[in-house]
Chain A
Amino acid sequence: MLWWAMLIGSGLITALVLGLLTAAVRNNGARRSERGWIWGWGLGFTGAVLVVLLGFSLWIGERMLARGDDALRVGAHAAQWEWRFTQPGPDGLPVQTVDTLYIPAGESFDVEITAQDVIHSFWVPQLGGKMDAIPGHQNLHRLRADTPGIYEGLCAEFCGIGHSFMRFTVVAYDPTGPIPDMSADLIPETRP
């Protein structure tokens, strides 16, 4: 929504500026009108566009934040070069998996993002924006998968030799059905 508004707006503004430029080049020696150019276009027009855009953006941003409600919490711990996830297992108790995160579809969840060694960044493009994983800090990131399915994720902060290959998968399952089999991804020592 924000994106389409910005795309169309940018296209229009680009066309407008280039149109003015063409007109300016063709126009030969008219009167000087400093006020129109500086105050009208430079300040008035630009200011109006920015105010509208900024308000819209903040309003959307506010809705995307993690809040203190009782949303599901999962953990994502990044290390060179793998992701360790903590999420509710088949029996409701938390289990740890490598490179695959299991979450129920259709409800918001918060990811607690931490890092082992260097800075990484948690990003599932189809679910939403990214959030950095920084040693010594814990970041909270709200996401939501509307429909069950498999979503590809990746590390979005350069983290060394293995950066290109630091991919992961998010499996969004139907919360009304059975919880999928996670055994292939479980970390051995946490296996019951």
Chain B
Amino acid sequence: MTVTRPMGDRDIAPNEPMFDPRADIAPNDTRRALSLHRELDRTWRDEPGWRGFFTSVNHGTIGLRFMVTSFVFFAIGGVLAMMIRAQLATRQGAFLDVDLYNQIFTMHGSIMMFLFAIPMLEGLALWLLPKILGARDMAFPRLSALGYWCYLFGGTVIVGSLLFGLAPDDGWFMYTPLSDRTHSPGVNADVWLLGVTFVEISAMAAAVEITVTILRCRAAHMPLTRMPLMGWYLLGTAVMMLVGFPPLILGSILLEVQRAFDWPFFDVARGGDPLLWQHLFWLFGHPEVYIIFLPAAGALSTIIPIMARTTILGYGAIVAAIAGLVFLSFGLWVHHMFTVGIPHMALAFFSAASALVAVPTAVQVFAWIGTMWDGKVSFRLPMLYVMGFFITFVMGGLTGVMLAMVPFNWQAHDTAFVTAHLHYVLVGGFVFPMLAAVSYWMPLICGRWRVRGLGESAFWLILIGFHGTFFLMHLTGLLGMPRRIAVYPNNPEWEWLNLISSIFGMIMSAGFALFAFDVIMQWMFGRRSRRNPWRAPTLDWAMPLPAPSYNFASLPGPRQADASALLPLARGEGLLPGAPRGFRETLVVEAGTGRPDHVAVLATSTWLPLLTSAAIGSFFAAMLVGLYWLAPLGMVLTLIAAWKWGAIMGTDRDHAPAAVAPGLTLPLHWQTRNTLARTGAIALLLADGTLYAALLFGVGFLSVVAPAWPAPPSTLVSLPVIAAAALALAAMALGLLASHRAEAQRSHASGAAWAGLGLAAALVALVALAVVGLGLDDPRRHARDALRGAILGFAVFHGVIAAMLALRSLRDAQTGRLSEVRRGAAPIWQMFQAFWLTTTAVSVALIAAQEVL
């Protein structure tokens, strides 16, 4: 067997350790690595054959599957791009008709954004995070699998619609009124709204999961402030997803409800406003750019120091830059709307914010250059892609600053100049770093070393093809060529530019094909790679190649602080060695300090994620084909599936604490209160709260800006409605009390009584909300009434969740799942009950204020 030793002899001095230098945990006794491996693999591996394909929840499997699937969608999106270039190569392009052309450019954008970029980064995060943080799996393995199936089903429907000529054709931004029922009567727009929302379930799942994993599943005594930069980048990404996606999800729901049931949220004649869609869309759409950029920058911050044989320069400054980007990116969305007619003062504010966001980006770019200055750069394949990133992204960033200048934006907005800019930013800022990441981590994925020469050829084809395609497109745009036109018969001056772009586009495609071929060759025929081929210090390389199903035979701690601990970890000297209880176990720590807190028992292979996503999918499918009466059945199926999730969590006996290391025993997660599920519920409620805030923004925006206001007089205020609203709030408050008492009395019979009371209170509140619903004005009459309907729907939705959790708590009590140390679902129920009560109280106050004022 040939051993490849690609990097020089210079080792990277870990001058900034990843672990708390004051902490210490004694090592476990050394065991035979092979018997440990067998014990763990039996517990952690997927089931064999096709069964394993459908039931796997392992982050290694799911993460790779996300990445491979996203590359398939990338290829489909690329083929569409080539069709666009073929059409535009000549001014009388006869390759596609206009309708098909509209479908194809809409799909190109939508696929690349929603089916390639986001899932690709989710896949990388799912696959990499536990490895680089020193854990055995993500916090919620079944949630990973659920996200994957939603992504696969939703993506398949979206792409499949192309085959029937039913693909969305209103642009990837879906501006209303073009996308409403009047102007887009077909099912095309529904495919986008429902398909993308279905896929976004996977984004929300991943965001919750990434957040919790980074906060709670790091190695013991790895403080937040010392974790690998990739952790910070992905934490920033996940928080942005939690806050950025809900406005889009809300907008899609509202627009779909308008299309299906004629509720006029965006209809200007009935109190709606098309600008509301633009705000909700870009509230998501701009952070989206940084959601895509941050993981890519994380890959760069990981790879560059290794390739330069040094440590990263300015760790603290980079963390500050990430925080700055997360914060600033939510103040930028209006710069996509500079031409909708906004006061110049507001324009000046958003223009300044847009320019300001260049500062944290520049800090990172100079930190990377400084890192290379410090070290000795070795031009391995990942480094070539890093260079491709620099050349491309710097230019994309500068054209971005140009576009942030209002006068220039008025000139270049919606021209090929913007097309060029965004491809420089996205290909430079995402695709090149991802190619670097893939070529860097391939040995860990497949255990093999690549075939020489192919990768370099692919890199040069992609680089030359890309700049040949898009550099001249700046000029095409400045010559006035708008985006999204299929032919340009009267503009011969644009033709040679377009022809050159088309030719180089084909070269770029050849490069990507060669890249894919290279990866397949490496996977199948590459030589076996030696362990830690890049001689990197991070924990992702502290394991055999390819990565085993359980990552670490024993988990890293202060004495196994970097990749050099590979053998001690494999021999069980680290924490929590093996799988002595037959459970999939990983360590959970305190969020800030990384002090060990308890041991989480993670889910094993199950059909449940697949079945649940099928249940959710049946709801979306019924909505898509217009069988609205069938949609409630999909909801019921989803509730049944959700109930099953609760049924397999929990245990009916107290377990002995786990021996983690000599002198350190920790309880299993059933016997603690601050579980991963609790942290996850907080993250989910952050997203949920953002959704509610976006709904309130819609109410405020329409009241102030939309033309057809004030709304016609309401008949809502009547004694029964007021009484019902008061009863609902009182019942919710009683439910909140019951949820706390149920936990406090968990080891007594009265605990079950409190849970039962809470369930009854939730049902009473739901009935009272239904009475309020009967009193609502016709939501089709005016946007105010439609928004009230939406607010009520929000309350009912959360009521169902609270009732389900109350029922779960009741069943916990009845089936012996509670004890002095086991708390069951009550802590989670309390949070959702409080959220339900708070948002409903705010909603009632808002509607009361609307009526009084």
From A30, A38, A136, contact of B706 by CB (8 A):
A136
A23 vs B365: C-alpha distance in the bound complex, in angstroms? 14
Contact indicator B407/A64 (Cβ below 8 Å):
yes
Inter-subunit contact A30/B405 (CB<8 Å): no
Q: Does A71 contact B (CB under 8 A)?
A: no
Contact A43 B183 (CB under 8 A): no
Is the C-beta of B661 less than 8 angstroms from some C-beta in chain A? no
- Determine if A42 and B274 form an interchain contact, defined as CB atoms under 8 angstroms apart: no
Set B175, B370, B399, B485: member contacting A34, Cβ < 8 A: B370
Q: How far is the CA of A30 from the CA of B269 in the complex (A)?
A: 67
CA distance A117 to B182 in the complex (A): 9
The answer to whether the Cβ of B367 comes within 8 Å of any Cβ in the partner chain is: yes
Q: Which stretch from A13-21, A85-93, A95-103 is at the chain B interface? A: A13-21
8 Å CB interface, B450-491 against A: 480, 482-488, 490
Q: Please indicate the chain A residues that have their CB under 8 angstroms from the CB of B399 in the complex.
A: 10
Q: Does B98 contact A (CB under 8 A)?
A: yes
> CA A62 – CA B348 in complex, angstroms?
10
Report yes or no: B414 in contact with A156, Cβ–Cβ below 8 A. yes
Please tell me if the beta carbons of A2 and B363 are within 8 angstroms of each other in the complex: no
Residues of A within 8 A of B391 (CB): 18
Chain B nearest Cβ from A125, distance in angstroms: 4
- Of the candidate stretches B208-216, B336-344, B750-758, the one touching chain A is B336-344
The answer to whether A137 and B394 touch across the interface, beta carbons within 8 angstroms, is no
Nearest Cβ on chain A to B23's Cβ, whole angstroms = 26
Contact B355–A50 (Cβ < 8 Å) = yes
Q: Are B351 and A134 neighbours in the complex by a CB distance under 8 Å?
A: no
Encode B391-411 as 1/0 by CB contact (under 8 A) with A: 100110011011001111111
Chain A residues whose C-beta falls within 8 Å of the C-beta of B373 in the assembled complex = 23-24, 27, 30, 37
Q: Are B402 and A118 within 8 A (Cβ)?
A: no
Asked if B406 and A34 make an inter-chain contact with CB atoms under 8 angstroms apart, the answer reads no
In this assembly, does B737 line the interface, its C-beta being within 8 Å of a C-beta of chain A? no
On whether A46 and B484 interact (CB within 8 A), knowing A24-B372, A62-B344, A156-B414, the answer reads: no
Complex interface: chain A residues within 8 A of B352 (CB): 54
- Closest A residue to B177 using CB positions: A118
At the interface with chain A, which of B39-47, B144-152, B374-382, B525-533? B374-382
Interface members, chain B 337-371 (any A CB < 8 Å): 339-341, 344, 347-348, 351-352, 355-356, 358-359, 362-367, 369-370
| Contact with B487, one of A14, A42, A65, A164 (Cβ below 8 angstroms) | A164
Q: Are the C-beta atoms of B355 and A29 separated by less than 8 Å? A: no
Given A57-B406, A65-B344, A134-B274: A42 in contact with B367 (beta carbons within 8 A): yes
Taking CB atoms, residues of chain A closer than 8 Å to B317 are 34, 38, 42
CA distance A169 to B362 in the complex (A): 43
Q: Mark A2-17, 1 if CB is under 8 A from B, else 0.
A: 1100100010011001
Distance in Å: Cβ of A120 to nearest Cβ of chain B: 10
Contact B485 A163 (CB under 8 A): yes
Partner-B contacts on A (CB < 8 A): 2-3, 6, 10, 13-14, 17-18, 20-21, 23-25, 27-30, 32-34, 36-38, 41-43, 45-47, 50, 53-54, 57-58, 60-62, 64-65, 80, 113, 117-119, 121, 123, 125, 128-132, 134-137, 139-140, 152, 154-161, 163-164, 167
Q: Which 8 A-B pairs have the closest CB atoms?
A: A129-B410, A136-B268, A37-B370, A139-B341, A42-B363, A57-B405, A46-B362, A24-B372
Given contact pairs A57-B351, A130-B414, a sample of 20 additional A-B residue pairs in the complex whose CB atoms are under 8 Å apart: A3-B408, A24-B373, A25-B372, A32-B370, A34-B313, A37-B369, A38-B363, A42-B367, A53-B401, A54-B351, A58-B348, A61-B406, A118-B176, A129-B407, A135-B268, A136-B273, A155-B482, A158-B175, A158-B483, A161-B99
Q: CB within 8 Å of A: which residues of B?
A: 98-99, 102, 170-171, 175-178, 182-183, 268-269, 273-275, 310, 313-314, 317, 321, 339-341, 344, 347-348, 351-352, 355-356, 358-359, 362-367, 369-370, 372-377, 387, 390-391, 394-395, 398-399, 401-402, 405-411, 413-415, 480, 482-488, 490, 706-708
- A selection of 27 A-B contacts at a CB cut-off of 8 Å is A6-B401, A13-B398, A14-B398, A23-B373, A29-B375, A32-B313, A38-B370, A42-B364, A45-B362, A46-B358, A50-B358, A50-B401, A53-B405, A57-B405, A61-B406, A119-B175, A123-B414, A129-B413, A131-B339, A132-B340, A134-B341, A135-B274, A136-B268, A136-B706, A154-B480, A156-B415, A158-B171
